[in-house]
């Protein structure tokens, strides 16, 4: 395969987003749209990738830390062809196919780019990506033969009625070999109302000099641009629909798919049942046969085979539920492991803890893991029973088969098989309540009489 490089244009101000965050850093499924594009293109093994930046450059540079990606500055900004030219220095010495794409068009697939580059291998000098939207609106048109040979590319405002009737629209993405791309970009002029240098003129220039230009088509959703919050929401909905379908095709059951929200990296096994209104944040892995009940929020957690979560449960980063374990309604876990068959059925907080196999955590139990300065570990042994409304004050270890009586505040280790009961002595004053009620009733009656 010919070497491949990508230029991604991200220099625009994104004013329609009305945000202090750079447009291409707004997330879809928890990951910035620019990173969606970079990760997709990574499948193509690019020799080099250059992001053309402008406004809020420092935000993009910071987001790219650790990635093998260069940035190039476009300042001032004179159009998309001018922006692509700013990447030339970063691509000096590169010989191969160059794709020019857009940071705010994040759904482009690696397979689509392969089809574009394959078109060059078949003899075309330039390949452009087209699509057929339900409503062509004011998109530029691509006039092409049945075999995909492009005869003309025309902006909507310059198109005749016959050309506007054509439904094949220009996405803006373009591929050419470096030997052709740079001369064609250099030749682009700015004789237009805006006085800017436009990328589609690369294809127009190639046609003018007698080169073959081909169009490759894709679905409209793949090249949907994001310029506003509403378009961002539409992209999120599109991505979620795709992920839901992928999950169900992989063997998971989503009882109400439209109410389940995945993260970009959610991994979900076969025979998993997800009930309505479940949200997955980043870093979640769900093994086969798990059951996620309604209204649960899960992030940074690993859920084992046949484990059960919820309803109304919260798993925070570092939560691990091993095979057959269970947490119920209003249970929160953070940086804790629930061993095989262990359960916390309701109203508990388990943080910085290890819970052994088949242990039982009673309602209202909390691990007191933080003293205002440091976090401490709680260890609960296998088959241990923690009674309701107990406070385990870390660092503390509860041994195998131990029992903590309900209402205990445990600050020292409990040995295996021991019972620990930490309660104040119960004091009973016989008849005290009756005497109290009588006195209060008389007082209330006297007060009412005086007021009358």
CB count in 10 Å sphere of residue 106 = 28
How would you classify residue 364: left for phi > 0, otherwise alpha for psi between -120 and 50, otherwise beta?
A: left
Question: Alpha-carbon distance 113 to 101, whole Å?
Answer: 10
Which DSSP state fits 426? P
328 by DSSP, 3-state: which? strand
Tell me which H or E stretch contains 83: helix 80-85
- Residue 120 dihedral angles phi and psi, to the nearest 5°: -65, -40
Question: Alpha-carbon distance 36 to 28, whole Å?
Answer: 8
DSSP β-ladder status, 150-154 and 253-254: unpaired
Is 82 noted as a catalytic residue in this protein? Answer: no
Tokens of 197: 């240098």
Which DSSP state fits 107? T
Question: Alpha-carbon distance 394 to 410, whole Å?
Answer: 9
Options 36, 291, 346, 437, the catalytic residue: 346
Expressed in percent and rounded to 5, the helix, strand and coil fractions of the chain are 25, 30, 45
135 by DSSP, 3-state: which? coil
Question: Alpha-carbon distance 289 to 377, whole Å?
Answer: 30
Give residues with Cβ within 8 angstroms of 451, minimum separation 6.
none
Which residue is it, tokens 């073959």?
A: 212
Q: Which residues are catalytic?
A: 346
């Amino acid at each position: 395969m010919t070497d491949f490089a990508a230029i991604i244009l991200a220099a625009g101000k994104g004013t329609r987003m009305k945000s202090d965050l750079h447009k291409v850093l707004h997330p879809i499924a928890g990951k910035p749209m620019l990173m969606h594009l970079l990760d997709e293109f990574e499948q193509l093994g690019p020799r080099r990738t250059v992001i053309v930046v402008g406004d809020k450059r420092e935000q993009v540079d910071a987001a790219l830390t650790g990635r093998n990606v260069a940035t190039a500055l476009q300042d001032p900004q004179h159009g998309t062809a001018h922006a692509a030219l700013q990447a030339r220095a970063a691509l000096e010495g590169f010989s191969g196919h160059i794709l020019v794409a857009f940071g705010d068009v994040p759904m482009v697939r690696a397979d689509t780019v392969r089809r574009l580059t394959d078109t060059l291998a078949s003899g075309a000098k330039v390949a452009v990506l087209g699509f057929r939207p339900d409503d062509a609106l004011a998109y530029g048109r691509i006039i092409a033969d049945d075999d995909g040979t492009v005869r003309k590319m025309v902006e909507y405002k310059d198109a005749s009625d016959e050309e506007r009737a054509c439904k094949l629209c220009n996405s803006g993405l373009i591929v050419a070999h470096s030997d052709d791309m740079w001369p064609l970009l250099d030749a682009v002029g700015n004789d237009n109302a805006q006085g800017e240098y436009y990328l589609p003129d690369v294809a127009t220039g190639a046609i003018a000099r007698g080169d073959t230009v081909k169009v490759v088509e894709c679905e409209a959703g793949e090249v949907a641009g994001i310029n506003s919050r509403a378009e961002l929401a539409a992209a999120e909905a599109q991505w979620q629909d795709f992920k839901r379908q992928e999950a169900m095709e992989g063997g998971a059951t989503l009882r109400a798919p439209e109410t389940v929200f995945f993260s970009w990296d959610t991994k979900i096994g076969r025979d998993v049942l997800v009930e309505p209104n479940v949200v997955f944040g980043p870093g979640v892995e769900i093994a086969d046969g798990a059951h996620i009940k309604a209204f649960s929020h899960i992030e940074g957690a690993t859920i084992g085979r046949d484990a059960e979560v919820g309803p109304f449960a919260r798993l925070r980063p570092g939560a691990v539920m091993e095979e057959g374990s269970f947490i119920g309604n209003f249970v929160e876990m953070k940086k804790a492991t629930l061993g095989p068959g262990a359960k916390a059925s309701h109203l508990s907080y388990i943080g910085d803890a290890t819970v052994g196999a088949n242990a039982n955590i009673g309602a209202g139990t909390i691990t007191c893991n933080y003293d205002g300065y440091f976090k401490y570990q709680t260890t609960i042994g296998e088959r241990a029973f923690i009674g309701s409304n107990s406070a385990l004050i870390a660092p503390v270890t509860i041994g195998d088969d131990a029992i903590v009586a309900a209402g205990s505040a445990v600050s020292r280790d409990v040995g295996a098989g021991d019972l620990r009961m930490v309660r104040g002595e119960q004091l009973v004053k016989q008849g005290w309540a009756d005497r109290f009620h009588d006195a209060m009733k008389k007082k209330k009656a006297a007060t009412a009489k005086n007021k009358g």
